[in-house]
Amino acid sequence: MDQTTQLSPRGAIALGLLVIAMGSLFIMLALGVIHPQGATADQTPPWIGVAAGLIFVFGGVALILGYAIAGGVSPDGDLLPGTPWGIRLTQFLLALAITGAMAAIASWVAFGPGPRAFSMTGSFAGAAPASQWLGRAAFGFGAVLLYLFIAVFAVVGIRRLRSRR
């Protein structure tokens, strides 16, 4: 017996707006609109903060669109049958944008200029410094996986959109 708990439209709007506000805070910090006390300048380009903020903004919009406007999801995780094609297309584009921003950030960490500092945490020991090259390799591997996911997701998503038109 499958008991899926759906987010109410009001709950989706409230949660979506909260997530959008969090993303907007990242964007304003990255662009220098907000200057927190005690903040130190770092070498991270502003577009990284903007991309991170957009992940949250797009996620909040997707939440509102999927649950408050489209009415929720079916047990298989897809939008409900009868959801308008435009909403499906918008959700698809939001998912691509979120994943693309994540891949761009991972790519910058792996391949961008400047030094990086990484740490590793184990089960029996606390956090310890890790090699810059090990950290970059891990992020590079993650970036490649994200780009592969985007390619597969785009092909599958376009096929699904065409079949529902």
Is 96 domain-assigned? yes
Is 81 domain-assigned? yes
pLDDT for residue 90:
97
Is 120 domain-assigned? no
pLDDT for residue 1:
44
Per the CB < 8 A criterion, the answer to whether 82 and 129 are in contact is: no
Residues of the chain predicted below pLDDT 70:
1-4, 40-41, 124-125
> How many domains does the chain contain in total?
1
Rounded distance between C-alpha atoms, residue 160 and residue 97, angstroms: 18
pLDDT for residue 131:
87
Is 119 domain-assigned? no
Contacts of 146 (CB under 8 A, 6+ apart): 99, 102, 103, 106
Q: How many CA atoms lie within 13 Å of 62's alpha carbon, on the beta-carbon side?
A: 21
For residue 144, the enclosing domain spans 9-35+44-112+127-164
Is 51 domain-assigned? yes
pLDDT for residue 125:
66
> Which backbone phi and psi does 52 adopt, to 5 degrees?
-65, -45
pLDDT for residue 30:
93
Is 68 domain-assigned? yes
Q: Which of 108, 96, 119, 98 lies closest to 47 in space, CA to CA? A: 108
Q: Which of 20, 28, 159, 11 lies closest to 94 in space, CA to CA? A: 20
Is 132 domain-assigned? yes
Is 155 domain-assigned? yes
pLDDT for residue 52:
97
Contacts of 113 (CB under 8 A, 6+ apart): none
pLDDT for residue 117:
85
pLDDT for residue 116:
87
